[in-house]
Chains A and B, each alone.
Chain A
Amino acid sequence: MTKGECQADVEIKNADGLHMRPAMQFVDVASAYESEITVSNTEDSVDGKSIMQMSMLAATCGTKLRIVAEGTDAEQAITALQELVEDRMFDEPPPKGKKKKK
């Protein structure tokens, strides 16, 4: 297996943003992969497998985050995390008045 690097820019779409419970979901998904996961906003880059660090991002609804994965399963990790954030929206509702896209 070759080491790969993969990244994606995602937008937080659930109304309540990346509060603790979604952050825990993110950490759970990220931790299932061997790759190192780094999540960045405009100010900080944090370890996507650390719940304390993820709680520091204060990613409100509409915030854009960059997720970078480095490792043998980087591509799969990015696919799963992007799906969690943008498609499943952490199983939470979008802001009132906005319909879930796709």
Chain B
Amino acid sequence: MKFADFMCFEAVIPQLKADDRDGAIKELVDAIEKAGRLDSTNSAQIAQAVIKRENEASTGLGKAVAVPHVKHPAVKKIVGAVGQCPGGIDFSALDKQPVYSVIILLSPVDDPDRHLQAMEKIFRNLQQDMFRKFLRQSQTAAQIKDLFLEADEDPAI
């Protein structure tokens, strides 16, 4: 699967306003909703479900990135977004370090295979030092979009 297949580039936030985990999650879900990729009546509920999932086990797996996610009945089509927090956010990450890049993924409940394929794409790239470095250095939504689209074209990944 390619990033272009599920990333909502209209919901990329180069500088999140929020400086805490829950605020960042809400901001990203709101952005996805504003981009028209969610049913607006459900966005608060979906954000709450992501936070609940995050409370069960942190998706901050280290390397200064977190991938909060949820499978939710109100999500019809898999969608992801990215937010950057230059000041760092406490995500209760496994390595106890602050998180600077948040990739959120919202999936329908009835398509676990596509959820896994999107996760694979995300983590395959997050494993790359250069990808994380460029993501963190990106100042604009356009730069972040270019980074993801370039990753889609990289035959080595």
Residues of A within 8 A of B (CB): 15-21, 24, 51-53, 55-61
Assess whether A20 is in contact with B63, with CB atoms less than 8 Å apart: no
In the bound complex, residues from chain A placing their C-beta under 8 Å from that of B117 are: 58, 60
Contacting residue for B115 out of A19, A21, A53, A56, CB 8 A: A19
Give Cα A51–Cα B126 distance, bound, in whole angstroms. 12
Assess whether B113 is in contact with A17, with CB atoms less than 8 Å apart: yes
Number of chain B residues close to chain A: CB under 8 A: 21
Assess whether A55 is in contact with B123, with CB atoms less than 8 Å apart: yes
Contacting residue for B113 out of A24, A52, A56, A60, CB 8 A: A60
Give Cα A15–Cα B67 distance, bound, in whole angstroms. 21
Question: Taking the nearest CB of chain A, how far is it from the CB of B69, in angstroms?
Answer: 7
Assess whether B57 is in contact with A58, with CB atoms less than 8 Å apart: no
Assess whether A52 is in contact with B57, with CB atoms less than 8 Å apart: no
Contacting residue for B94 out of A18, A51, A55, A58, CB 8 A: A51
Q: Which of B57, B113, B116, B120: most chain A CB closer than 10 A?
A: B116
Assess whether A56 is in contact with B112, with CB atoms less than 8 Å apart: no
B residues 76-133 in Cβ contact with A at 8 Å: 94, 112-113, 115-117, 119-120, 123-124, 126-127
Task: Take A20-B59, A21-B57, A24-B57 as given contacts and tell me if A56 and B116 are in contact as well, using a CB distance cutoff of 8 Å.
Answer: no
In the bound complex, residues from chain A placing their C-beta under 8 Å from that of B126 are: 52
Assess whether B116 is in contact with A17, with CB atoms less than 8 Å apart: yes
Question: Taking the nearest CB of chain A, how far is it from the CB of B64, in angstroms?
Answer: 12
Assess whether A51 is in contact with B116, with CB atoms less than 8 Å apart: no
Task: Take A52-B127, A55-B61, A60-B113 as given contacts and tell me if A20 and B120 are in contact as well, using a CB distance cutoff of 8 Å.
Answer: no
Give Cα A75–Cα B69 distance, bound, in whole angstroms. 35
